[in-house]
Structure 1
């Protein structure tokens, strides 16, 4: 009842203000009273939710070595310094929720990834060491637990019920400033994720900064509707575009991590891409609402059911698949062995096929990475990478044999603005040579968000340095 009265207070304030303005009474004391009622509504939401949001500090041990390659000291034969271990701290946020009578903390996987120690601070300044219940890299979510029974929690909401334009509050610990609150609206729903991540994003203009990751996005009823996760920014800080993981997905991930220790996802067994207007026209379509099947995995569920290369997937169980994000979300939310009905477009005619889904495993993902380069790394930077094979090296007239090839750069992305171009070869990151995409991912994984990074890149005409700040 309390959360309902908060939302009602804000709505009544807006309605009263509109009525007063229409009657010419929106000045003086009446205007102040209406504004105060609106302010009280936001303050009530903040007071209700803040105790359920925690500050997270992580410790990680990394091996560091100073290299003089590419510097004037290399000319004088200066040897690299010996490797040594360093302790690195990270910060983030988390949300306390109740599930089946127990309290858990939801945060982002990237907040606790590779952490040796995780500390949680509550609003009453009590500190606890957290235990990891489970993690899921494909949703970028992790579930923690602390040894304390009496915990304030944030009530579950429904992200499916969110409307574009609806007010929301973001609560977290940006730049280490505990329990900071910002307000905004839902700017969009169903935004595509980065890289291999499953699901979609809620876009908001509520201020989200480094340290907000894992914090709460709540509606005016004080209900959790999203887990704040990422921003798009040229500076590394807030620029009006933030993203949160929908709570409907977060709740399902938590359920599976608590019950099974892992998240089980269905597998269709196709390589897909979004339709562009030219492809749609060539296929006889009037719009780009569908997902194009680039290839079908051998002996996979889709091939066994009769899905063919060049098909367009229009819907799954009657739910439209207007983008790869929508299709991946629907299949990823379905358990293995589930039978789903695909509505396809083939030879300009629609048909339906029933597919029994397989299971998405790490082995399947590894195999997919090898067979299809895809946007498996650097997705948040706007890069699509591929291993440097002998064939590619020959085509690019590159004799050194090491590095990672940029097969595509997203227009307008961070990497594009800094000068990365298609068919560039990334040779080094921070003076460390690259042998594979695994090296690329490992080096960037060890760096914090907002870190300035130097890339040595071989282009078609010259080898150059490109500096870039990590998102």
Structure 2
């Protein structure tokens, strides 16, 4: 069965039937309440049933009571109703018998009345949806998901005291799925903001929202993981939980035991479209940074470095002489981009940014994307077996081809059979097309290179970070590598390093 990663479908379209929900999962409490904390958990503010004395050696000390937390925070959580822009009714179906009549005699083809609210009005159904949000300031600013208010013509916010106020969208950022809206009101109950960096895996958390339109629904669970990377979401280090999240929860808050918001519920991982134990929240520090920029500039600004990266595997780490698989491997450097101007090169491994370790490749886009454009950063990189520091001034996202085909019959020469490659030099036109000064085209691949995924037509640009332009040079670099080789390959518009163990 196909598994899909979907947003929590804030938009509940009229006449749409959603998948079945799921029952909450009971889990053991893996986080001890700290009596010495600056702000004691709200769950301990009232007397709770006395649990049995823990068995010696047990780490679990009891289960939480969320009633006080809910009493003190639910008034800050709102239900958001959205009316989308009316869709244009579809034109007459070409298979309609009358379509050919209108076309043949040059008569304008009318809109299909079955797609609108009435014959001839030219308007399709008006999409409607619901979601959640929470008040972050007493003067009416509210955070929610960007996909909740996307393409909204009208936004209505409903509070727990049954007040309904029209809201305007101040701005939204699709890259982080954060939106800021505002209602005209004063002295609203605002949430307390926590620190997502201090969240611990295993601690209890709670969500309040409107799943399937059921307002002020409370669900609870634990933090399953931190800094989770999701497809197409390179800027957000998601907090993964097992809290029950369903369509309508989107944009709602994720609370810690102190009653502080640590995240915005945003996505679920599901086979059915309903909750299956995997939900993801945007860390509140990321959301507030975006909200502050929207309030100040009307939009969010994300920095960029101008490089393409790939993960470091154990084989690639061995090829580049790293002690272990860590960092982000630079596969391509954008010409005249921030990294290029700083002297970054394909084959460099970025180990840290301003002292913040890059443990894995997905860490780098998050660190860079959440910095302000124009900021100078110090990059610690691994190049040719040694560490060095490069300073780059970050650009802004939103500023500002094909690989040569194999021709086995021209200038093809075998490059030692250790890799199983037959290669030829790039022609001048091919090199210009790829934006390089020299390189090799793979005419045939067998043995270790074929097993590693090298294909005829790939362009080889470097070996272990060293540019290569001839079969003889390739053979020398492979021999020098002592069995561990990382080839920089260009295939189509993509560049990547491919590790090979020479035979």
Q: TM-score, normalised by structure 2?
A: 0.63
In 2, are the aligned partners of 1:54 and 1:172 still within 8 Å (CA)? Answer: yes
Q: Which residue does the alignment assign to 1:359?
A: 396
Q: 1:19 to 1:307 in 2, by over 3 A?
A: same
The alignment status of 1:198 with 2:228, answered yes or no, reads no
Quickly say closer, same or farther: Cα 1:189–1:66, change in 2 above 3 A.
Answer: farther
1:305 to 330, 342, 346: 342
2:133 match: 94
CA distance in structure 2 between the aligned counterparts of 1:5 and 1:268, rounded to whole angstroms: 41
DSSP 3-state at the match of 1:17: coil
Indicate how the Cα distance of structure 1 residues 359 and 22 shifts in structure 2: closer, same or farther if over 3 A, else same: closer
Encode CA deviations 1:422-449: one digit per residue, 9 max, x unaligned. xxxxxxxxxxxxxxxxxxxxxxxxxxxx
CA distance in 1, matches of 2:347, 2:38: 54
Q: Are the aligned partners of 2:142 and 2:180 in contact in 1 as well (CA < 8 Å)?
A: yes
- The Cα shift of 1:326 comes to 1.4
Per the alignment, residue 467 of structure 2 pairs with none
After TM superposition, give the deviation of residue 197 of structure 1 in Å: 4.8
| 1:43 lines up with 2:67 in the alignment | yes
SS of the aligned residue for 1:128 comes to strand
Which gives a bigger RCO, structure 1 or 2 (Cα 8 Å, sep 6+)? Answer: 2
Quote the Cα distance in structure 2 between the aligned partners of 1:148 and 1:334.
Answer: 32
| Residue 360 of structure 2 corresponds to residue 323 of structure 1 | yes
- For residue 65 of structure 1, the aligned residue among 90, 111, 126 is 90
Tell me how far apart the structure 2 counterparts of residues 120 and 324 of structure 1 sit (CA, whole Å). Answer: 40
Partner of 1:8: 44
1:196 CA displacement: 4.9
What's the counterpart of residue 51 of structure 2?
A: 17
SS in 2 for 1:59: strand
Where in structure 1 are there 5+ consecutive unaligned residues?
Answer: 24-33, 365-369, 373-471
Please tell me whether Structure 1 or Structure 2 has the larger radius of gyration of its CA atoms: 2
Matched residue, 2:78:
54
Partner of 2:465: none
Note the 1:110-125 alignment, pairs <5 A.
Answer: 110-125=147-162
CA RMSD of aligned residues (A): 2.9
Contact 1:140 1:197 in 2 (8 A): no
Contact 2:140 2:184 in 1 (8 A): no
Unaligned 5+ runs, structure 2: 1-36, 101-108, 113-121, 404-503
Cα distance per residue 1:267-310 (max 9 Å; x no partner) = 21111122233333322334322111111011011001100012
CA contact (8 A) 2:208 2:253 kept: yes
- For structure 1, which segment, 315-324 or 241-250, has the greater mean C-alpha deviation from structure 2 after superposition? 315-324
- Is contact 1:3–1:222 with CA below 8 Å preserved after alignment? no
2:254 is aligned with 1:235: no
In the alignment, what sits opposite 2:409?
Answer: none
Q: Tell me, what secondary structure is at the counterpart of 1:145?
A: strand
2:144 and 2:352 map into 1 onto residues whose CA distance is: 32
Picking from 120, 124, 140, the partner of 1:85 is: 124
Which shifted more, 165-174 or 322-331?
322-331
Determine which of 287, 290, 297 is the counterpart of 1:260.
297
Q: Within 2, Cα distance between the matches of 1:67 and 1:291?
A: 53
